[in-house]
Amino acid sequence: MKAKCKWRDGLYRLARVVDRREGQESRDPSKWKYYVHYYGFNRRLDEWVSLEQLDLNTVEVEPAVEIGPDGKPLKKRKPTAEEHDSDSEHAEFDAQELRVHEENTKVKNIETIELGRHCMDTWYYSPFPPEYNYCKKLYFCEFSLHFFMRRSQMLRHLAKCRIKNPPGDEIYRNGNVCMFEVDGKKEKHYCQNLAYLAKLFLDHKTLYYDVDLFLFYILCEIDERGAHIVGYFSKEKASDDGYNLACILTLPAYQRKGYGKFLISMSYELSKLEQKVGTPERPLSDLGKVSYEGYWTRALLLLLKDSDGTVSIRDLSTMTAIKVDDILGTLNRLQLIQYQKGQHVICAAPKLVDKHLKAAGSAGLVVDPNRIIWTPYNAEREYDNLKK
């Protein structure tokens, strides 16, 4: 069923009714809540609404599958532009996989979380253990990431919790910002809890329970109470595809502060220390795509702007640790490259470079490479340590 629903801006927008539930205080159908998805908007904006918010004069019952003369189901029509969703990050799913994904995750099971000083509305479904399903609010310890159904449980935990930062090695500190590297194999419980938390705000990634193969880089703000998680990115310990980042998240309470740009920049600084080129794992979310395109634009054009002579694509890749394919894609998108006589030629007029740099925005919180204290992961060294 679909109908127009009063949105947060006061306007009525076409929405699909995904689910319904009885009111807490009454079984009167007029008190029921309806879970709606707004056509043309990301699923993170799905929400529970009351009957009063629905315009019942616009209700349309979606037709059942039509059967053709040959007894076979007729093909569904293509959705209109109004009905088309903006979830381009599901490109890796085929039609059947996408239907299964959306069916299994169609309703948020957790509505809000409390993490430290912040309460945050969740965006998506996360596969918490069954006993936590449809618990409206979860309480997280911001240091250990243990989660609880009641605030009193969390407070009892905090009274006994002695850790004040993520359980890993601090690899960066500059002012009130620091970063910790956490090995998924050594701190399995913490990393699994982090995955549960992150899935509440990431729709396009499947939750990975086998965290042993990943390293997690936790970005924190420091004060007198400890190191408070702001966001993180993860990467495979050994990626055959050259990925330098698997998942990335800045928690909603800390967004628009440049932390997402910092995380992307840090992933490339680590790649430089490894003397490798890297690329993020696909697909990128809508927000992730915008952030990466901005980073690639700034990193590449600043080099071109400061260059005195000819710079090749390979030179740019070596200096930035950005994969050649991503460089070509960025320069093509900006129309700064041509294919002449069997090779790519960069055509970057100074005024055009300045125009694109201005459009890309600021670099956000800048990584100081001199403050990174880090040794690349070495599987042989890890194996030797285990034998001791």
Task: Show which residues are catalytic.
Answer: 281
Nearest CA to 142 among 154, 131, 133?
154
The phi-psi region of residue 145 (left if phi > 0; otherwise alpha if psi is between -120 and 50; otherwise beta) is: left
SS3 assignment for 186-217: CCHHHHHHHHHHHHCCCCCCCCCCCHHHEEEE
What distance in Å separates the CA atoms of residue 132 and residue 26, rounded to the nearest whole number?
23
What distance in Å separates the CA atoms of residue 109 and residue 81, rounded to the nearest whole number?
29
What distance in Å separates the CA atoms of residue 9 and residue 1, rounded to the nearest whole number?
23
What distance in Å separates the CA atoms of residue 38 and residue 16, rounded to the nearest whole number?
6
Helix (H, G, I), strand (E, B) or coil at 260: helix
Please check whether residue 30 is in contact with residue 51, taking contact to mean a CB–CB distance below 8 angstroms: yes
The secondary structure of the chain in percent helix, strand, coil, rounded to multiples of 5, reads 35, 25, 40
